[in-house]
Each structure stands twice: as structure tokens, then as C-alpha cells.
Amino acid sequence: MKIRVINPNTTSSMTEKIGDAARRIAAPGTEIVASNPSSGPVSIESHFDEAISAVGVLEEIRAGEQERTDAYILACFGDPGLLAARELTRAPVIGIAEAAFHMATLIATRFSIVTTLARTGIIAEHLLQTYGFAHHCRRVRAAEIPVLDLEDSGTRALDRIIDECLRAKAEDNIGAIVLGCGGMADLTGEIRDAVGLPVVEGVTAAVKLAESLVSLGLGTSKHGDLDFPRPKTFRGRFDYLSGD
């Protein structure tokens, strides 16, 4: 089984970290291919960043379709371009936010999300509503750290995330924590040990869901809105998509 884990931003060190976390949790025989677009934002911290990064995500899906790819994971908590990505393939495509929400509800009746910046927390709230998990989430909390601080061991990013998780445990009446950034993929164990609650991280959750879907022979439905896009003419920089 081959799973392509796509980091929608262009920071290769984060892509390597995400890939390593995915490989550690993957079953024997599962091949993890971690990739990121060559063009786009270095981090995703706004609706604008998400919109730009979605084009790179779709390019990565197109590249994966030239190989034998069994499933895809979008390793950004905003799940940028998720439905468009599903249109391009019969393979399962899983966003890490949706994966984390599903997993959290299997082990707790209530969870809180701890993310990077408050403005991205609003995006997470939108996804909770869209996916139907809003009633399970007690609060979306922000450690108020830029995403790229997660790549710098000289920052106090981990300490600030743990502090916010401890506040969630004390104040939110929850049973689990969801980590709200793909860049936290390597921090789960340390946070879980420090907080004493189940901690759900989306990249690793998505790997196990992808393996399950592939094993069950389940792929993206091509009946209805997720069917392949109708061929048409594109102009300008997207002319290469014409006729696809």
C-alpha cells in the first residue's frame, strides 16, 4: 500500500517531520511518500494562504495519480482543497482535521482543539460545523505561536502548547485533546505524557484511517459531486489543464 502524505506548505523540513511521524505509525508494508508543492506559502495561517496552497495540493494529487498511489493525506489542519482533491482520484483523500475529529469522538464525548494562532482557530471552528463535530468540541484554543516556530527548537513552542493543553484539561471538562496543526505531528508523545489525557494528532490518525479504507476496498465515490471534473478549456497559467 502506498500513501502519499502531502504537506500543503513549501517548508521541506516540516514535510520531513510529517513523513517521519507517518512512517512510525504506518503498518508494515505501507509505503509513505511525503511531499510538498514547489510553489506556495511557507506556512498556512489564513484563508488566503489556504486558497493559494490548494493549487499546490491539486498538483501533488495529479503527480500521485501518475504513480500507484492508494490513498492521500492532506497534512494541514485547514484541509485545504480537500473536496477538489477528491474529485481528481478514486483513491481515498483524507484531511487531517476531519481524521482527528473522527478519532477523538471514538475515545471521548468531548474534546478541545489546541492550535497555533487564534485566527486559524476560527478556520477550525468552520470545519467543525462543516463536518458535523461542533457539538463534540468544547473549545478551540490557541497557543499563539506562528507555525514556523514549530520548526525552531530555540522557541518555547512546545512549552506553550503544553501549557494550553493543561488549561484545556483544567477548564473545559473534556476527555481528549486534538492538536490543531500538522507541524505538531512529532510532539504527540511529549504532550500526552505532560497532560495526562488522550492526545489525537491528525497526521497519524489519517494514516490509520487511510490504511483502513484501502484494506476495505473503499475509495472516493465517483457518483455525484466528487466525480472527475468535466473536461474544459483553461486559459493563461492553467492552460495545461485544458481537456483534462
Does 229 lie in the same domain as 185?
A: no
| Per-residue CA distances from 216 to 70, 97, 204, 207 (Å) | 12, 22, 19, 14
> Are residues 114 and 80 located together in one domain of the fold?
no
Q: Which domain holds residue 66?
A: 2-95+204-241
- The answer on 111 and 190 residing in a single domain is yes
pTM: 0.96
Is residue 10 located within the same domain as residue 75?
Answer: yes
**Residue 72, pLDDT score:** 98
Q: Name the grid cell of 121.
A: 482557530
Amino acid at 196: G
Q: Give the per-residue pLDDT at 243.
A: 83
Indicate if 118 and 138 belong to the same structural domain.
yes
Claim to verify: residue 161 and residue 177 sit in the same structural domain: yes
Residue 207 sits at φ, ψ, to 5 deg, of -60, -45
Residues 128 and 66 in one domain: no
Judge if 137 and 221 occupy the same domain.
Answer: no
Total domains in the chain come to 2
Check whether residue 149 and residue 104 sit in a common domain.
Answer: yes
Q: How far apart are CA 206 and CA 71, in angstroms?
A: 10
Residues 6+ apart with CB under 8 A from 133: 101, 105
The pLDDT tens digits along the chain (244 residues) read: 999 999 999 999 999 999 999 999 999 999 999 999 999 999 999 999 999 999 999 999 999 999 999 999 999 999 999 999 999 999 999 999 999 999 999 999 999 999 999 999 999 999 999 999 999 999 999 999 999 999 876 668 999 999 999 999 999 999 999 999 999 999 999 999 999 999 999 999 999 999 999 999 999 999 999 999 999 999 999 999 998 7
For residue 109, give the CATH number of its domain: 3.40.50.12500
In 3-state terms the chain splits into helix, strand, coil percentages (rounded to 5) of 50, 15, 35
| Same domain membership, residue 106 and residue 198 | yes
Judgement on whether residues 120 and 153 belong to the same structural domain of the protein: yes
- Shared domain for 198 and 208, answered yes or no, is no
